Amino acid sequence: MTFYNVCAACGERIPREHNELSCPACGSNVFRLVREVKREEREERREEKKEEKLLLATQSKGDRVETVKILRRGVFEIDLEALFKGAPLIISDREGAYRIPINQLVKVKGER
Protein backbone atom coordinates (compact mmCIF):
# COMPACT_ATOMS: atom_id res chain seq x y z
CA MET A 1 0.00 0.00 0.00
CA THR A 2 1.40 3.37 -1.00
CA PHE A 3 0.33 6.75 0.28
CA TYR A 4 0.88 10.27 -1.06
CA ASN A 5 -0.09 13.81 -0.06
CA VAL A 6 -2.62 15.96 -1.91
CA CYS A 7 -3.05 19.67 -1.31
CA ALA A 8 -6.44 20.31 0.30
CA ALA A 9 -6.73 23.75 -1.33
CA CYS A 10 -5.88 23.10 -4.99
CA GLY A 11 -5.86 19.27 -5.24
CA GLU A 12 -2.26 19.15 -6.49
CA ARG A 13 -0.45 15.86 -5.84
CA ILE A 14 2.68 16.58 -3.81
CA PRO A 15 5.76 14.68 -5.04
CA ARG A 16 7.61 12.51 -2.54
CA GLU A 17 10.83 14.45 -2.96
CA HIS A 18 9.09 17.72 -1.92
CA ASN A 19 10.27 18.33 1.67
CA GLU A 20 8.76 21.77 2.33
CA LEU A 21 5.63 22.19 4.44
CA SER A 22 3.71 24.03 1.73
CA CYS A 23 2.18 23.21 -1.64
CA PRO A 24 4.50 24.10 -4.53
CA ALA A 25 1.50 25.19 -6.64
CA CYS A 26 -0.55 27.39 -4.26
CA GLY A 27 1.45 27.68 -1.03
CA SER A 28 -1.19 26.05 1.19
CA ASN A 29 0.03 24.05 4.18
CA VAL A 30 -3.04 21.78 4.51
CA PHE A 31 -2.72 18.31 3.02
CA ARG A 32 -4.71 15.09 2.76
CA LEU A 33 -3.04 11.70 2.93
CA VAL A 34 -4.40 9.55 0.10
CA ARG A 35 -3.92 5.83 -0.47
CA GLU A 36 -2.75 5.00 -3.96
CA VAL A 37 -5.01 2.37 -5.43
CA LYS A 38 -3.45 -0.04 -7.88
CA ARG A 39 -5.14 -0.85 -11.15
CA GLU A 40 -5.91 -4.43 -10.04
CA GLU A 41 -7.57 -3.22 -6.83
CA ARG A 42 -9.65 -0.72 -8.82
CA GLU A 43 -10.79 -3.44 -11.22
CA GLU A 44 -11.65 -5.77 -8.31
CA ARG A 45 -13.79 -3.04 -6.72
CA ARG A 46 -15.57 -2.42 -10.01
CA GLU A 47 -16.30 -6.14 -10.34
CA GLU A 48 -17.62 -6.27 -6.78
CA LYS A 49 -19.90 -3.30 -7.45
CA LYS A 50 -21.16 -4.90 -10.66
CA GLU A 51 -21.88 -8.15 -8.78
CA GLU A 52 -23.74 -6.25 -6.04
CA LYS A 53 -25.85 -4.39 -8.60
CA LEU A 54 -26.60 -7.61 -10.46
CA LEU A 55 -27.54 -9.35 -7.23
CA LEU A 56 -29.82 -6.49 -6.20
CA ALA A 57 -31.44 -6.37 -9.63
CA THR A 58 -32.14 -10.12 -9.77
CA GLN A 59 -33.30 -10.43 -6.19
CA SER A 60 -37.01 -9.92 -5.72
CA LYS A 61 -38.47 -8.65 -2.46
CA GLY A 62 -40.59 -11.78 -1.98
CA ASP A 63 -37.49 -14.00 -1.78
CA ARG A 64 -35.81 -11.95 0.92
CA VAL A 65 -35.89 -12.85 4.57
CA GLU A 66 -33.82 -9.99 5.97
CA THR A 67 -35.13 -6.50 6.61
CA VAL A 68 -31.63 -4.98 6.80
CA LYS A 69 -28.82 -6.15 4.54
CA ILE A 70 -25.23 -5.00 5.04
CA LEU A 71 -23.74 -4.54 1.57
CA ARG A 72 -20.36 -3.30 2.76
CA ARG A 73 -19.00 -1.26 5.64
CA GLY A 74 -21.31 1.71 6.14
CA VAL A 75 -23.69 0.79 3.27
CA PHE A 76 -27.01 -0.86 4.08
CA GLU A 77 -30.12 -1.87 2.22
CA ILE A 78 -33.18 -1.42 4.42
CA ASP A 79 -36.62 -2.80 3.56
CA LEU A 80 -38.66 0.03 5.08
CA GLU A 81 -41.92 -1.34 3.75
CA ALA A 82 -41.50 -4.61 5.66
CA LEU A 83 -40.38 -2.81 8.84
CA PHE A 84 -43.39 -0.48 8.73
CA LYS A 85 -45.67 -3.48 8.31
CA GLY A 86 -44.27 -4.90 11.56
CA ALA A 87 -41.77 -7.46 10.24
CA PRO A 88 -39.06 -8.40 12.74
CA LEU A 89 -35.60 -6.88 12.43
CA ILE A 90 -33.43 -9.46 10.62
CA ILE A 91 -29.93 -8.33 9.68
CA SER A 92 -27.76 -10.18 7.15
CA ASP A 93 -24.27 -9.63 5.85
CA ARG A 94 -22.40 -10.85 2.77
CA GLU A 95 -21.57 -14.24 4.21
CA GLY A 96 -25.22 -15.10 4.63
CA ALA A 97 -25.17 -15.04 8.43
CA TYR A 98 -28.32 -13.60 9.99
CA ARG A 99 -28.62 -11.64 13.23
CA ILE A 100 -32.01 -11.43 14.88
CA PRO A 101 -32.35 -9.39 18.08
CA ILE A 102 -34.50 -11.69 20.23
CA ASN A 103 -35.82 -8.84 22.41
CA GLN A 104 -37.11 -7.09 19.30
CA LEU A 105 -38.75 -10.29 18.06
CA VAL A 106 -40.55 -10.85 21.38
CA LYS A 107 -41.81 -7.24 21.40
CA VAL A 108 -43.16 -7.54 17.84
CA LYS A 109 -44.99 -10.79 18.59
CA GLY A 110 -46.34 -9.38 21.86
CA GLU A 111 -47.91 -6.39 20.11
CA ARG A 112 -49.87 -8.48 17.63
Question: How confident is the prediction along the chain (112 residues), in pLDDT tens digits per residue?
Answer: 678 888 888 988 888 787 888 888 898 888 888 887 777 777 888 888 877 776 665 554 556 778 888 888 888 888 888 888 878 888 888 667 888 888 766 665 566 5
Instruction: Name the nearest CA neighbour of 22 among 35, 7, 32.
Output: 7
Total number of domains in the chain: 2
Give residue 4's pLDDT. Answer: 81
Give residue 56's pLDDT. Answer: 63
Query: Quick check: is 81 in a domain?
Result: yes
36-39 — which CB contacts under 8 Å span 24+ positions?
A: 36/1, 36/2, 36/3, 36/4
**Rg value, the chain, Cα:** 23
Query: Quick check: is 44 in a domain?
Result: no
Query: Quick check: is 45 in a domain?
Result: no
Residue ranges making up the domain that contains 14: 2-36
Query: Quick check: is 46 in a domain?
Result: no
Instruction: Name the nearest CA neighbour of 24 among 36, 9, 34, 35.
Output: 9
Query: Quick check: is 42 in a domain?
Result: no
Query: Quick check: is 52 in a domain?
Result: no
